[in-house]
Amino acid sequence: MNKYSLPKDFDNFIKELESFFDLNLNFRPLILEVESRNEFDSLRGEITKPWLVAFVKGDMIIIFSKKSINKETTHKIEEWDSLVKHELCHIFYYNKFKTYLPLWLNEGLALNLANQKKPKIYFSVKDIINLTTKENFSKDKYAYHKSYWIVKKLLENEA
């Protein structure tokens, strides 16, 4: 486990998210890189699936290192910067709203603002209701796809 140098666009990510969320953080988020799934699971406090590559704990992003991401996760090294930005979105979201809920909005914003496109998928008002809590979110294998598209539609209406 080690602290890693920040992505080259980290300061730009912060400025963009400060503008979007209309929020200035009073701290600088840290990045803690891990090398193994065991180390990751130990920090998270649960056994995780290979697609889970990063999470936020307080003001820290815990993420697989660039050296280990290809081997330990279903993600690729080329995604690393966008994964950091995704997790930064969660830090901003929590500091703005003091909650991670509703999850469809939190994840949908993180996916859209980090430009992590998802294949088009149908969603309904019932999905918006059901994707609010962690319990229901984790039961829907298309939760991230639906969240991306729900928020994408909202953001399009803003433009």
Read off the pLDDT of residues 66-77 as tens digits, 9 standing for 90 and up: 999 999 999 999
Question: Using CA atoms, how far apart are residues 39 and 32, in angstroms rounded to an integer?
Answer: 11
CATH class held by domain 1-95: alpha beta
For 69, phi then psi, to 5°, come to -60, -45
Residue-level pLDDT at 6: 76
The total of other beta-carbon atoms located within 10 Å of residue 15's CB is: 12
DSSP symbols for 56-67 = EETTEEEEE-TT
- In whole angstroms, what is the distance from residue 70 CA to residue 96 CA? 33
Give the pairing type, strands 2-3 and 30-34: antiparallel
Q: For 3, which DSSP code?
A: E
pLDDT by 10s per residue, the chain, length 159: 555 667 889 999 999 999 999 999 999 999 999 999 999 999 999 999 999 999 999 999 999 999 999 999 999 999 999 999 999 999 999 999 999 999 999 999 999 999 999 999 999 999 999 999 999 999 999 999 999 999 999 999 876
Please say whether the beta carbons of 55 and 87 come within 8 A: yes
pLDDT on residue 8: 83
pLDDT at 140: 96
Residue 119, C-beta contacts closer than 8 angstroms, at least 6 positions apart? 145
pLDDT of residue 25: 94
DSSP characters over 26-58: SS--EEEEESSHHHHHHHHTS---TT--EEEET
Instruction: State the average pLDDT for the chain.
Output: 94
In the chain, domain spans = 1-95, 99-159
- Burial (CB < 10 A; 0-12, 13-18, 19+), residue 85, is buried
Which pLDDT does position 3 carry in this prediction? 57
Q: CA-to-CA distance for 152 and 12, rounded, in angstroms?
A: 22
